[in-house]
């Protein structure tokens, strides 16, 4: 992950829900970078990827559990439309209406 940037906006609440680039993203905390479209989500980050959505995931390792969940680790990047999400570890599981990507922290930007 990139080094920490100076932040001009900090939003800390029990739960933050933001609809970004047609995705529902929830987290305990959201920070926006000064002069950038980038946002840093931290704490219980959940991203709902719509059913039948076309997205690309890259990482150093991928594990598929017997439950069907997939664990991506090491320099994880998820690309969806004009969105780029970067994190170190994500668990992707099926849920009603699509796929749920769960992680501790994520940096989200547009292309």
**At CA 79, angle to CA 7 and CA 40, rounded to 5?**
15
What pLDDT is recorded for position 81? 85
Give domain status of residue 1, yes or no.
no
Give domain status of residue 59, yes or no.
yes
Give domain status of residue 63, yes or no.
yes
In whole angstroms, what is the distance from residue 99 CA to residue 52 CA? Answer: 9
- Render each residue's pLDDT in the chain as its tens digit; 111 residues: 333 333 333 333 333 444 444 678 899 999 987 778 889 999 999 999 888 888 899 999 999 999 999 999 999 999 988 889 999 999 999 998 889 999 999 999 875
Give domain status of residue 2, yes or no.
no
What pLDDT is recorded for position 93? 95
Give domain status of residue 70, yes or no.
yes
Give domain status of residue 66, yes or no.
yes
Give domain status of residue 99, yes or no.
yes
What pLDDT is recorded for position 36? 80
Beta partners for residue 99, in sequence order: 49, 94
What pLDDT is recorded for position 58? 94
Instruction: Give the structural domain span for 105.
Output: 7-110
Give domain status of residue 56, yes or no.
yes
What is the number of structural domains in the chain?
Answer: 1
> CA distances (Å), 79 to each of 1, 36, 56, 66, 83, in order?
16, 18, 5, 25, 6
In whole angstroms, what is the distance from residue 61 CA to residue 22 CA? Answer: 27
């Amino acid at each position: 992950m990139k080094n920490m940037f100076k932040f001009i906006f900090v939003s800390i609440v029990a739960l933050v829900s933001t609809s970004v680039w047609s995705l529902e993203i929830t987290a305990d905390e959201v920070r926006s970078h000064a002069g950038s479209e980038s946002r840093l989500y931290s704490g219980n980050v959940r991203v709902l990827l719509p059913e039948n959505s076309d997205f690309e995931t890259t990482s150093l390792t991928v594990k598929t559990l017997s439950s069907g969940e997939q664990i991506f680790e090491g320099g994880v990047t998820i690309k969806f439309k004009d969105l780029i999400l970067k994190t170190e570890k994500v668990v992707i599981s099926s849920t009603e209406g699509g796929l749920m990507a769960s992680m501790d922290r994520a940096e989200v930007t547009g292309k």
